[in-house]
Amino acid sequence: MASVPRNGHDTAEPNGYTNNYNDTRQGELSSIPTATPTEVQPNGNTTGKTEAEASSGTGRDGSKAKGSFPAKVKRIWLAKTGIDKRTYMQMFKGALAPTIAISAYQSTAWADTYTTIGYLCGIIAILSLPIQPRAKYLQTMLTNVLVVCFGCAVALLAMYCTVHARLNSEFQQTRNGGPGTSGLAAGGAPTTTYNSSASAVAGVWLFVQIYAISTYRANRPQFTIPSIMYAIFANVSMVYAPQFGSMVQAEAFAKKLLGAFLTGFAISTGVSLFVFPLTSRGVVFNDIAGYINSLRGCMQANLDYLHSLEDSDMFAPHRVNTAGDDVVGSKEAAVFKAKVQALTGLHAKLNMDLPFAKREVAFGSLGPDDIQELARGLRQIMVPTVGLSSMPEIFQRIAESRGWDRELDLSQATVNDAPDDEEKIRVETIQQWHHLMKKLREPYGRATTTIDEGLAHIAIRLRLTPKQSVRSAENAAESNGDEPQPGETGFAAYYARRSADVVQSRKDLFRSWCSVHGIELPASFFEDSSHEDYHMPEAPVWMNADPRSPTQQRLRRQLFVCLHLHFLLRNTNRKVYELILHVDGLQASGKLGKTRLIVPGVKGLRKWAMSLFATDDEGHDDQQIDTGTNGTTVYLGEAYGKRRDPEHLPPQTAWEKSSNMLRMISHVLASPESAFGFRCACATMSVAIVAYLQHTQTFFTRERLFWSQIMISISMSRAKRSWLYIPDIWDLRGYAAIVDGRTAGVLVFFFIFLHGGIYIVVKHPSITPVGMITQVTLTLILGYELQVRKIGIAVATSNGQAYFPIYELAPIRLATVCGGLFLAWIWTIFPYPITEHSMMRGNLGRSLYLLANHYSVMHETVRARLKGCEGNWASKGSPAYQLDKSRHKIFLKANATLGALRAQSAFISFDIPIGGKFPRQQYQEIIALMQSSLNFMNLVSLASVTFTELQEQEAKDEHNSRWLRDFRSLISQAHVTSESITTLLSLLSASVTSGTPLPPYLRVPEPFQLAQRLDEMDQDILSVRHIAEPGYASFAVIQIGTRCVIDDLRLILQLVKELVGELDFSYHIVSTTDPTRNNSSETLLYHAASTEEKKD
């Protein structure tokens, strides 16, 4: 029997892909490249060694690596740390930039230029994140430079105001330097004595700047890093602004501060572009390599699960006890589900990285359109692959509907052991599945092997994997060594021949199922579509019974599950073949063999410019789907446009339009983003106020408390998460002890310890601020100490900063950092808390809205295909193209939002519980059900493509089946999907988002009994006689998919009712003498009849 070689793809997916989506709006901090699945060489090729292979010790040929001691150490190292060559390259790169900045300060010329702010260059180099891919980094750096220059201009304006406030409030000459001042600021500008007017003006300017930039940061997460840069410049400049007596001093200070920022940018840019350069195209090709490996792993996991059905109870739920041991159920199903979840994470990551790769200028072989087409081909393979993972869910739904979902394993039971008829039916069904899976073991194994080799061929052709044998010894023996290997010319034709195994497995499936149920198919059953020689008397008794009988329904459901499995396997095989042809076409055209300059087009640049200022709101997409092609127009509804205002009609006159602009001010001030900006400003002023009081101004400058303000700007988030950053900083006390040595040794240890912060950024992007704060604090302590060694204590203290030895400085700076983090946490819970709980509830509401959106598009897609008005998919103006584009875009958003919800749930356990417990279990169940619904909706869309294909076959008269014509005629009259589901999901979204109870009497629409409706029209239309027809399997998938979506929604509605409640306007008349009247939780209207009895 042919089986798929393990190839290292049955291990878990590369680390770092499952938790990358903590913010569905994808700000700057969520775009850090994590551990990539392959190692890119300078020429764009890869070593082909995946992280999964390295950790499992397997090779491409499925052979186990030698059990040498170094190999064991390597496997343990990768398993524990996840640091491979690619990861360490990123860690080295991130630690190098600040090390260069601090080391350069040992140059006399450098020290004379930057004097007391030299270590600021290193901090800016850290915050610039040089480990980003090139396109992303250059986009961020361009914004950084513009924002910092703008911040410098605003700072000069603010200092102009403070200087004139001082001049207008003092009637004598201002004294520069000496007691009562902060000495010399950066650039040698002397400071002056305290002035209340200047301090008040500076405080107002600081509050306004922090409020404005924080509000903009919350509204445009893609500007997170530039916003932090601006906040740092504003904090430092506004602390010194009230201490300048003239604009000459202020301008010298601003010039020196701006120079330090730009120098940090320059160092970071040099490291990003020349040290282990990482292009966005390289990241995308690594994503594609990991995507292909993940697909191969999913196919192997699917085969393992199918093998497990040969001797297991597929209806027993999978359970794990408190010790972590499997109690009952399919462990293979849990592994398959985990692999599919990792695949969907890779799919989301690929599509998030793709826009930057398409905009990048680079030398390469494939252009932006080619990369986009590859991503589309992989997506088409991913949909049926994910659908294969629905088999365990389908079995569980059958078990729940029949009452078989007990922790009872009947895999080895016999019919005689069954205590009742229902148990007997279950045992018979299990035995039937055992028989089917044993019969299909070999054909499904061959089909899966063919798909695996096809995916390997794609990777080899794209030069993502080195060319080597991936065929097992058994398969090589079958082909006698004459057949082409993956990556060789002629493999596409070989794949087409091997795909006949999939067709043969379909016949084997049908014959096996029929033989199990006493049906003998004639030899020419699959060749003669009319089946005129197969008459009713030859059929078993149950087959001639009423289609609505329990036996008929149960056996039809079992047949539909078999067809569901085969349909998805066949579609996966076909989509892999289509991608093979596409990749071979690229090879034949010479694109893969030539290197050329890739330059984005005008359209791509325009999209890039628009993306800089896009809010990327899930409810408002920048897509216009209104077309007039072929007389067909697709409208996506008002949800895609500007929402209506119930208090104002749309402005009509010139006065209404002009005055309507004034209302934007109140909208901005009342927005959640404005509230976040106000919290940031208040937290910053909680520290900065010390700098604006007469008796503490010099103390503030001497102790450098403005670093607390900077930590607030870095760590402040819209959730109560900042307190998590504090414990990770205490390890720096150990780092400070190592500083007591020679300068060269200190720099080496400084470089080594910076790796820890970069490791957090690369491997745990969900807590990126922790890694950044760790590096900044280390640079703040060691950078200053090295600065003092170079310029001396006298110059180091000339700016008013007190000198402390390292064993005193480290705790002081650490306390400063922790104080800022603590204040950031305080202002996330005061005056009212913004917790992970509220954010998770809001994201859940958005996910439900996206699910409603996706179902609506799916509904319109199915209806268009049934009516035959979908048009040509290749035409961008056709409804088919536009609907597919919208469906894919919504799916990406919904999938990313659900991933963010799963990541957010990890933070719930760290939150400080106040009051009742957070209903984490209910949220997790809703998330799982939404993911399931999303996948089944995709399957319905996939299966409905058959309607279009049948129409084309009928137009070309390629299929003369009377059943096919009758089936299409009947199915066009049916309502496969329902608009009421969109209404229900929208109501659930609104209730969860606002926290209001659900409307009363809300019900999930009953699933459309498509099979029953067709039986009423024609009892023979779904007969077993027609199982070989091309549309029969698609019908089964649609029937199962729509039913599962309804089942999921019913459970989602029940869980949402538990969370938000339901309005109850009913009343019940209950006698006061009823002893059970207090047991009801509903509102009761007591009957007053007992009053008469009391009077008697």
What predicted TM-score, i.e. pTM, was given to this entire model?
A: 0.82
pLDDT by residue (tens digit) across 350-359?
A: 998 998 898 8
Which of 92-106, 198-212, 363-377, 891-905 is least confident? 891-905
Q: Does the pLDDT value for residue 726 go beyond 60?
A: no
Residue 969 pLDDT grade (very low, low, confident, very high; cuts 50, 70, 90): low
Give residue 92's pLDDT. Answer: 96
Structure tokens at 955: 């137009």
Spatial separation of the C-alpha atoms in residues 466 and 487, rounded to whole Å: 9
* pLDDT of residue 972 exceeding 80: no
pLDDT for the residue numbered 18: 35
Higher pLDDT: 159 or 46? It is 159
User: How far from 212 is each of 673, 681, 1067, CA to CA, in Å?
Assistant: 10, 9, 52
Q: Which two tokens stand for residue 1015?
A: 């039986």
Mean pLDDT across the chain: 79
Q: What is the pLDDT of residues 785-801, one digit of tens each?
A: 888 888 888 888 877 78
pLDDT mean over 54-63 = 40
Ranking 232-241, 415-424, 464-473, 1018-1027 by mean pLDDT, the lowest is 1018-1027
Considering only 55-59, 212-216, 767-771, which range has the smallest mean pLDDT? Answer: 55-59
Q: What is the pLDDT of residue 1019?
A: 56
Give yes or no for residue 406 having a pLDDT over 70. yes
CA distances to 563, 1067, 1073 from 1070, rounded to whole Å, are 54, 9, 8
Number of C-beta neighbours around residue 641 at 10 A:
12
Nearest to 821, CA basis, from 782, 784, 769, 783: 769
> What pLDDT is stored for residue 962 in this prediction?
64
Q: What angle separates helix 920-956 from helix 962-971, to the nearest 10 degrees?
A: 130
Task: Mean pLDDT check: name the lowest of 270-284, 985-999, 1026-1040.
Answer: 1026-1040
Please, what sign has the CA dihedral across residues 598, 602, 607, 610?
positive
At 8 the pLDDT is 37
Q: Rounded CA gap, 898 and 688, in Å? A: 40
pLDDT of residue 845: 92
* pLDDT tens-digit readout, 584-637: 999 999 888 888 888 887 777 777 777 666 654 433 333 322 333 333 333 334
Distances (CA, A) of 73 to 36, 57, 68, 270, 953: 21, 11, 9, 35, 59
> Which amino acid would we find at residue 383?
V
pLDDT band (50, 70, 90) for residue 422: confident
Least confident window among 118-122, 848-852, 957-961: 957-961
Residues 713, 680: Cα–Cα separation, whole Å: 7
Higher pLDDT, 418 or 182: 418
Lowest mean pLDDT among 686-690, 878-882, 1006-1010: 1006-1010
Give the separation between CA 786 and CA 351, rounded to whole angstroms.
44
Residue 934: what pLDDT? 93
Among residues of the chain, what percentage have pLDDT more than 70? 74
Can you tell me the distance from the alpha carbon of 58 to that of 75, in angstroms, rounded to the nearest whole number? 11
- The pLDDT score that the predictor gives to residue 623 is 30
Place of tokens 């303000």: 709
- What tens digit of pLDDT does each residue of 1032-1067 get? 788 888 888 888 999 999 999 999 999 999 987 766
Q: Which of 506-515, 685-694, 942-951 has the lowest mean pLDDT?
A: 506-515
Whole-angstrom distance, CA of residue 872 vs CA of residue 878: 6
Q: What is the 3-state secondary structure (H, E, C) of 765-823?
A: HHHHHHHHHHHHHHHHHHHHHHHHHHHHHHHHCCCCCCCCCHHHHHHHHHHHHHHHHHH
